[in-house]
Chain A
């Protein structure tokens, strides 16, 4: 089945069929003729010859799709609040770039944004983490095509994989409430979307009492915080940690001080950092997480789509947030 046969059935020329099938807003045929062509397409089960398509498309795609061209990735100013990178996500992104036949180039976040002339072969940039709008605009000026992976919406209009921290927090709080917790303590850095989300919940009308314990994003900070929590007159009923490292540290410290999880205190984390929820602890951490393989695939595909100019408006993709119940949560103790 090809264009010629459709043309014969619809009683128009091959080029008319081609225009109608390939171009949505064509004015080359009346509505009736267009309907006739489409019904022929449908009834005959026409599909374009993939060889012909790729022959025609080859110019654009072959010119960009080779290891001579690279896609860059860069961690945003994450380093400024905690020196914490999500290595798992970074390696998945590298893999995905390579799987799509591009070379990888990594950018240091603190490098001078003007000094990147040598990066002119980079066709696009994946920006991981939350960054200021000013920074994003600078990157966007240097790389025409840019996709951000971020926990909040930047003002700057660009393609975005939104791992909405706020939504994950809402899910987590709902989950803890469903277990009967009336008091939720946030544990995380005093900066960034986690902190902002926690504050927003604090200011909204709520039956649940909320408090915030500032803590670095490492396991060590978690250990210290856990120890200090045990010195409090009363242990909080549940902790909502910014990442798994903190959660593991806190659990470790709590157990060293003679309490147990989840009997005395429940711990939930929002995933981040290495998959520590499976660390060799007596209790594995219940987490709310985003599927990182999906995130990297979405990001690279969105970027390539833009590089090939298949879309030009800023698009926001929001993957689903999952709950992995691992037994670090239980109903609160009655005191």
Chain B
């Protein structure tokens, strides 16, 4: 970009002088030839004032965006911050993207405040886009919300069959990636710790074990009621009392894996020498465990980016059709898995 400073340098004068001359060509300079020189240089180099810079400098008013983005954290039952690390950090990413793409931020709702969301009137929501994070327990929830919010995008880990715009990083695929990695390291006795009811990662585990013709009997599965540190800890203790030992543990998420790692440590098992551990999410803390946790990266930033872009394209009527966007999950190899010899 050719700017005032460049003209000043070539004309051997100051940017301020150049600015004055260009703004007011009638202006009389101390050196009459200077004006000609500056105008000549500007013309020759095709100088164009930067309109953004002008508006910024003059403090021009800009249209404050009317459009808002609200987030609905459908899987987060509590209002406590950090109640669900994965979705709350995803909500943060979405909000950041929203701001950068010119939205104002609306309210965020957690699942416990579903009624507030459902009771809002459709007239107020024409300028509001809603991003639903995670699959609601009630399968009728999304159609209900669509009646209130004409612009709605679902973002999560499991694909909807319903008619909804969605951005999905496939949890089933993530489970497959993790298990394939363990398999490639020679593990055949792979245990599962995590939720087992309506859980995509568990289904992925079962599908994988079956497709490879591996045993996935009771003795390899330690169910949790929900994904948490404590549940993971207790499940791992219980798992290790069983007579047949697994060579690797696949945990449904990082939080559970933290519990598992500590449980294994407390009863004298070494990871990865005695047993390998892998999980899914790659939350920030995963790199601070001992050993560092090998996990599957869920592309949060990209989920946020595409969810907001999709919503924007819909609200601008650039896209009219429903779109499903799927994003890949990538393996992050750290130190908690070992090759069997």
Contacts and interface: CB of A to CB of B under 8 A. Distances in A.
Contacts of B231: none
Q: What is the interface residue range for chain A against chain B?
A: 35 or more
Contact of A316 (B62, B64, B82, B325): B325
B92 A320 contact: no
Contacts of A298: 319, 323
Given A311-B302, A311-B305, A318-B323, A59 B104 contact: no
Given A24-B301, A55-B53, A320-B322, A48 B327 contact: no
Contacts of B93: 24
B55 interface: yes
Contacts of A157: 328
A172 B143 CA distance: 25
B105 interface: yes
A319 B104 contact: no
A232 to B, nearest CB: 38
A298 B62 CA distance: 29
B302 A319 contact: no
A314 interface: yes
B30 interface: no
Contacts of B330: 313
B178 to A, nearest CB: 17
B305 A310 contact: yes
Interface string B63-100: 01100000000000000011000000000110110011
Contact of A49 (B56, B96, B163): B56
A50 interface: yes
Interface stretch (A35-43, A112-120, A129-137, A192-200): A35-43
Contact of A319 (B102, B163, B321): B321
B104 A38 contact: no
Contacts of A311: 302, 305-306
B318 interface: yes
A22 B95 CA distance: 11
A317 B323 contact: yes
A21 interface: yes
Interface in A275-326: 290-291, 293-294, 297-298, 301, 305, 310-311, 313-320, 322
Given A54-B52, A55-B52, A291 B321 contact: yes
Interface string B284-325: 100000000000000101100110010001000011111111
Contacts of B301: 24
A313 B173 CA distance: 15
A46 B321 contact: no
B105 A313 contact: no
Nearest to B95: A38
B327 A315 contact: yes
B56 A47 contact: no
Interface string A129-173: 000000000000000000000000000010000000000000000
B326 interface: yes
Contacts of A24: 92-93, 96, 301
A258 interface: no
Contacts of B328: 157, 313-314
Nearest to B89: A24
Interface in A39-72: 41-42, 45-55, 58-59, 62
A80 interface: no
B92 A47 contact: no
B50 interface: yes
Interface in A1-28: 21-22, 24-25
A93 B97 CA distance: 27
Contact of B99 (A31, A47, A59, A315): A47
B330 to A, nearest CB: 7
B320 A313 contact: no
Among A49, A51, A316, the one with the most B-chain Cβ atoms within 10 Å of its Cβ is A51
Nearest to A32: B81
B306 A47 contact: no
Given A51-B62, A52-B56, A313-B330, A35 B81 contact: yes
A41 B64 contact: no
Contacts of B326: 315-316, 318
A211 B64 CA distance: 60
B221 to A, nearest CB: 30
B267 interface: no
B325 A21 contact: no
B58 to A, nearest CB: 10
Contact of A51 (B56, B100, B163, B319): B56
Contacts of A48: 99-100, 102
Nearest to A318: B324
A32 to B, nearest CB: 9
B55 A315 contact: no
Nearest to B57: A51
A47 B185 CA distance: 49
A298 B318 CA distance: 9
Among B103, B302, B321, the one with the most A-chain Cβ atoms within 10 Å of its Cβ is B321
Contacts of B65: 47
B157 to A, nearest CB: 15
Given A59-B1, A315-B325, A42 B105 contact: yes
Interface of A: 21-22, 24-25, 31, 35, 38, 41-42, 45-55, 58-59, 62, 157, 290-291, 293-294, 297-298, 301, 305, 310-311, 313-320, 322
24 contacts: A24-B92, A24-B93, A24-B301, A42-B105, A45-B64, A46-B99, A48-B102, A49-B62, A50-B62, A51-B52, A51-B55, A51-B62, A52-B56, A55-B53, A55-B56, A62-B1, A290-B321, A311-B306, A313-B330, A315-B302, A316-B326, A318-B324, A319-B321, A320-B323
